[in-house]
Structure 1
Amino acid sequence: MDSPSERAIELRISNNKAYVWDVEDLALLRAKHHICGVLTGTLPHVSQQNVFLGMPLVLMPEEVVLLVENGLAVLVDDPTAHRKPSRSELEKWNTERRALVKTQLVKEGAKEGGGVSAPTGSRSMSEEAIRKRKAREEKRAAAKSPAEGGEDTPVFVPSTPAQAQATVPVAENSNLAHATYTITVPANSASELGWYSPEDYKYSTVKAAMQAGIWSYPSSAHERAKCKVFQDLWKKGHYMGGGIKFGGDYLVYPGDPLRYHSHFVASVIDSPAATISPMEIVAHGRLGTATKKAHLLCNWDEEKQTVSYYSVEWAGFG
């Protein structure tokens, strides 16, 4: 079996976007291949927020093209690779899960010394626990009973409205009170169940994926120029991220963005014959300097297959 560093990373394509679902692939992309992407999934315990996100990782189209052209990744037609299970397969899967839940409930009940009341995760309290609870209630009731009452039987005085509505005493062997516990049911992946077979839907070239209709980037001169500029900066050892918030195509980092600030905001120019207005140059220079970056104008020459770079910074006069 190939090690994670030797095998091609599977990029799951859906709606013309590339996703990475494997944490090991994410680490490999970032540590070895200088590809960051953007996390877009919610975390299990903090799903209602957008500050700390989790899997999957979404890649920029330029990152996808670079990885595939360099033989580091393959494209997978994810929707087609997923097979809809039959009714009998779903019933078998549900039966096995219910059996596993029941087995764990029996084990937990035996471990705690109580019986299993239902396959919902609840069990009857043990007799010892009921006795202790009853003793605590009687002690609290005796402490709250009026000193001049002189009754032989302690009086339970509810301290909250909820307690006032639930003054029925708990009998010695009552099953009204329950304790809950958590059981673990291992989740089987679609691959393990045979419902996901990506091997027949993998594409090792961008052209093959385009012919299959699952990928469409690059499809214009500007998109091809962006791919070439991105690849040239990547070969120079830089990390790249989206630069739309700073008025460019990419942010260019000298190292991992978790450790470094970006040094450049890069804008791609399609060809040496393309024009750029003086106002654009001024705007790029002012914005870049205001955010402590230099604006990088990246010119792709299709004929010479080379990239030229021009940096713009705002400077004081006099």
Structure 2
Amino acid sequence: MASTSTSGNRLHIRIANNKAYVWDVEDIATIRTKHRLCGVFTGTLPHLSQQNLFLGVPMVLMPEEVVLLVENEFAVLIDDPKAHIEPSVAELQRWNLQDKESSQRQLAQLAAAAKISPGMSVEAVKKRKERELKRAAGAKLAGAVPDSSLFSTSETAVVPQAADAQYTVLIPASSTFFEWYNDSACLFTSIDSAKAAGIWEYPSTLHERAKCGVFRGLWEQGMYMGGGIKFGGDYLVYPGDPLRYHAHFSASVLESPTFSLTPMEIVAHGRLGTVTKKSHLLCGWDDETKDVSYLSVEWAGFG
């Protein structure tokens, strides 16, 4: 049974298809600045929908980030599909009627704006300004003080008003309350309760527990983590915000402090880290003591 009594003002992480999304911009800023977690943006930008260099909301969190936030009581999990309430036929009819009324109001305002009598034409305004500039230049050459009435507000031409005249359109402001969305009955304050409800599975294996433990260990030392698959590891480890710093380590998670590695694997980790100007960090997780041991590998002469 989901519990809301201790949810307080925690961040809301919305779970759909076993993936964690954050939609609220303020929550995203809090996660980044206060909790030192980066996530990955996956949404397109409204005016640049075809590019994929800079993305927007929602932000997708790594499973390790989700576990850290929930276990530290910074966030709660929400079963997003169940939070959407299926509207009744009457509600759909009411929303449709409201939409039609809003469209009719805007059309009426457009029609009213089109009937406004036009003022001075653009060409007339241009010619008048040219005459005023010539008179001012002539007065300056003659050494006389230009007539201040030339620049008075009373002489300012009227901006043309026709079909392009300004009018007011009321746009409803965004709100945190939606009639069709209610998460109070599908909110979970712990990983175990979310697992019991079947909306979240991580961690469920020794390797996943090891990744959560290593992630927490590095995070508690003030590090920022990002995905490290491009650099041959599980994480990239930054000494500060990735927007300001390059990664110092690429980290691999080992399921045990005595986990076996072949010499070729050690050489590969060391060479790859050196080529990318990083040290490779081997992180051994002890599932009994819940401790992490670290070993960095560098190619000889690096740095």
- Which of the five TM-score ranges fits, normalised by the shorter chain? 0.7 to 0.9
The Cα shift of 1:51 comes to 0.6
1:93 to 79, 89, 95: 95
Note the 1:197-236 alignment, pairs <5 A: 197-236=182-221
Runs of 5+ in structure 2 lacking a partner? 1-7, 123-162
The residue number in structure 2 matching 1:81 is: 83
1:43 to 34, 42, 45: 45
The residue number in structure 2 matching 1:279 is: 264
Q: Which range is displaced more, 191-200 or 59-68? A: 191-200
Note the 1:155-166 alignment, pairs <5 A: none
Q: Which range is displaced more, 54-63 or 194-203? A: 194-203
Query: What is the identity, as a one-letter code, of the residue corresponding to 2:35?
Result: H
Note the 1:1-318 alignment, pairs <5 A: 7-113=9-115, 128=118, 185-186=171-172, 192-316=177-301
C-alpha distance in 1 between matches for 2:166 and 2:282: 61
Deviations for 1:233-286, whole angstroms, at most 9, x for unmatched residues? 111111100000100000000111111111000100001232111111111111
Q: Give the length in aligned residue pairs.
A: 256
Confirm or deny: 8 A CA contact 1:30 1:36 kept in the other structure: yes
Q: Which range is displaced more, 179-188 or 291-300? A: 179-188
C-alpha distance in 1 between matches for 2:237 and 2:180: 41
1:73/1:193 CA distance change after superposition, 3 Å = closer
Q: Could you say which structure has the greater relative contact order, defined with CA pairs below 8 angstroms and 6 or more residues apart?
A: 2
Deviations for 1:180-202, whole angstroms, at most 9, x for unmatched residues? 9995643766x634211001100
TM-score normalized by structure 2?
Answer: 0.78
Runs of 5+ in structure 1 lacking a partner? 1-5, 115-125, 134-177
C-alpha distance in 2 between matches for 1:288 and 1:74: 37
SS of match in other structure, 1:210? helix
Alpha carbon RMSD of aligned pairs, Å? 2.5
Confirm or deny: 8 A CA contact 1:101 1:185 kept in the other structure: no
Q: Which range is displaced more, 93-102 or 7-16? A: 93-102
Confirm or deny: 8 A CA contact 1:288 1:295 kept in the other structure: yes
Deviations for 1:112-166, whole angstroms, at most 9, x for unmatched residues? 435xxxxxxxxxxx7x59xx79xxxxxxxxxxxxxxxxxxxxxxxxxxxxxxxxx
Query: What is the identity, as a one-letter code, of the residue corresponding to 1:215?
Result: W
Percent identity among equivalent residues? 60
Q: Which range is displaced more, 231-240 or 88-97? A: 88-97
Query: What is the identity, as a one-letter code, of the residue corresponding to 2:95?
Result: W
1:43/1:303 CA distance change after superposition, 3 Å = same
C-alpha distance in 2 between matches for 1:34 and 1:70: 13
SS of match in other structure, 2:237? strand
The Cα shift of 1:103 comes to 1.6
Confirm or deny: 8 A CA contact 1:100 1:185 kept in the other structure: no
The Cα shift of 1:100 comes to 1.6
C-alpha distance in 1 between matches for 2:211 and 2:112: 64
SS of match in other structure, 2:280? strand
The residue number in structure 1 matching 2:148 is: none
